[in-house]
């Protein structure tokens, strides 16, 4: 991303955050008749806190910076949830004339409690098991699918060790990771991923949009000495299954489609095939090329309600297993979190996909 694009993004992002803070504050002033001295300065500072924490995280190392980032990121999530509470109040106000302090208090308190729950839920890691029947598969294969782990300031080595331990306990034949291994909140280095070498099963990785933000060459250099293998528009055969890894949509020129990439790749369409592709788009192209199972992530299933509703406006497939024409797409809700270390209406998940022959 070019410097002017970063500056434009930060300006728009800060403006949106300031607007959310301002609307929450104005609602509090209107309902409770309160006034905070130097309110504008406080609103500007609070809305800039997450951006500042990101700058500090990329520039400095240490526990103090980690704590500052965690607080700022958590506050970002709290603001999203409290804003939702204010919106609900305003919608109800259309039908109920005048201000209702008790109603506002109930909804606002609900937002606070939901924020506390989301913080707790954001630290939990759950497992989901699914069975998928695959054509031409000779024998059952167990896959653990990880996506959007987002290792960085919030989810550090301790979290990655937990992911690895839970994965090994599931005794998979293969581990497939579909992008956004990095968070972007701190500089990347090999040691932060060292626990991945403790995975017992063969492990393959395809990149996501956060790898693009870090710079693909920097990512390749960081992971080159790990046991995990990168699939960059490559095909490998493992457990009698063809596995294809394609870089995320943002790493591909605009005039290049998944259809054209698969056209150029040499794989046997009569054999069971899995495609690792970070963003859940262009599934029709995957089906056209007889890909039996496409694995994606990226959406986080919205991560924090009501963002799942907004994600649905952008993407057709946002969470779970989909089937069409005898082919499958699985979209992970993500193994970690980005930004707010919170989950409301979603969860951090390790997914088990038990592939079985159609004839079994």
CATH of residue 146's domain is 3.60.21.10
Instruction: Based on the fold, state whether residues 179 and 304 are members of the same structural domain.
Output: yes
Cis peptide before 239 (omega within 30 of 0): no
Q: Is the pTM of this model over 0.85?
A: yes
Contacts of 163 (CB under 8 A, 6+ apart): 125, 146, 149, 195, 335, 350
Domain span at residue 108?
3-121
End-of-domain residue from the set 121, 143, 177? 121
Strand order in the sheet with 241-246: 234-238, 241-246, 273-277, 293-296, 327-331, 320-324
Final residue before a domain boundary, out of 121, 142, 163: 121
Residues in CB range of 265: below 8 A, 6 or more apart: 233, 235, 244
Is the same domain home to 179 and 322? yes
Pair 26, 139 in one domain: no
Q: Coil, strand, or helix at residue 354?
A: strand
DSSP bridge pairs for 332: none
- Domain check: are 74 and 196 in the same one? no
Residue 109 has pLDDT above 90, yes or no: yes
Both 131 and 111 in one domain: the answer is no
The three-state secondary structure class of 305 is coil
Confidence (pLDDT) at 229: 96
Q: Are residues 98 and 164 in the same domain?
A: no
Give residue-wise pLDDT tens across range 183-238. 988 899 999 999 999 999 999 999 999 999 899 999 999 999 999 999 998 999 99
**Pair 142, 24 in one domain:** no
Residue 360's pLDDT is: 53
Q: How far is CA 322 from CA 92, 120, 192, in A?
A: 36, 30, 34
Residues 212 and 172 in one domain: yes
- pLDDT per position as a tens digit, 48-101: 999 999 999 989 888 999 999 999 999 999 999 999 999 999 999 888 888 899
Structural domain total, the chain? 2
DSSP 145-190: EE----BTTTB-HHHHHHHHHHHHHT--SEEEEES--B-SSS---G
Answer with the residue of higher pLDDT: 306 or 117.
117
Distance in angstroms (rounded) separating the CA atoms of residues 214 and 75 = 25
Domain edge (last residue) among 72, 96, 121: 121
| CA–CA separation, 276 and 332 (whole Å) | 12
pLDDT (0 to 100) of residue 5: 75
233 with 279, same domain: the answer is yes
Whether residues 222 and 337 share a domain: the answer is: yes
């Amino acid at each position: 991303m070019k410097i002017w694009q970063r500056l434009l993004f930060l300006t728009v992002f800060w403006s949106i955050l300031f607007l959310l803070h301002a609307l929450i504050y104005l609602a509090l002033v209107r309902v409770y008749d309160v006034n905070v001295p130097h309110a504008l300065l406080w609103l500007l500072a609070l809305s800039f806190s997450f951006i500042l924490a990101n700058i500090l995280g990329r520039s400095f190392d240490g526990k103090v910076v980690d704590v500052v980032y965690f607080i700022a990121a958590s506050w970002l999530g709290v603001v999203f949830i409290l804003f939702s509470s204010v919106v609900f109040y305003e919608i109800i106000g259309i039908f109920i004339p005048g201000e209702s302090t008790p109603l506002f208090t109930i909804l606002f308190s609900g937002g606070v409690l939901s924020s506390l729950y989301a913080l707790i839920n954001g630290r939990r890691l759950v497992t989901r098991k699914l069975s998928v029947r695959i054509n031409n598969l000779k024998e059952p294969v167990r896959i653990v699918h990880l996506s959007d782990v987002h290792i960085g300031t919030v989810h550090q080595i301790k979290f990655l060790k937990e992911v690895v331990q839970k994965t090994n306990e599931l005794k998979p034949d293969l581990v497939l990771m579909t992008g956004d291994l990095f968070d972007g909140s701190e500089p990347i280095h090999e040691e932060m991923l060292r626990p991945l070498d403790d995975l017992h099963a063969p492990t393959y990785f395809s990149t996501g949009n956060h790898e693009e933000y870090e710079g693909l060459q920097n990512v390749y250099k960081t992971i080159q000495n790990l046991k995990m293998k990168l699939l960059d528009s490559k095909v490998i055969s493992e457990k009698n299954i063809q596995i294809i890894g394609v870089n995320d949509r943002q790493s591909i020129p605009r005039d290049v489609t998944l259809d054209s990439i698969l056209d150029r790749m040499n794989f046997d369409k009569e054999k069971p095939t899995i495609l690792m592709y970070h963003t859940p788009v262009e599934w029709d192209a995957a089906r056209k090329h007889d890909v039996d199972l496409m694995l994606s992530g990226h959406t986080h299933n919205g991560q924090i309600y009501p963002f799942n509703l907004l994600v649905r406006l952008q993407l057709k497939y946002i969470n779970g297993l989909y089937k069409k024409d005898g082919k499958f797409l699985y979209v992970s809700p993500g193994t970690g979190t980005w930004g707010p270390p919170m989950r409301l209406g979603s969860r951090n998940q390790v997914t088990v996909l038990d592939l079985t022959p159609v004839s079994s």
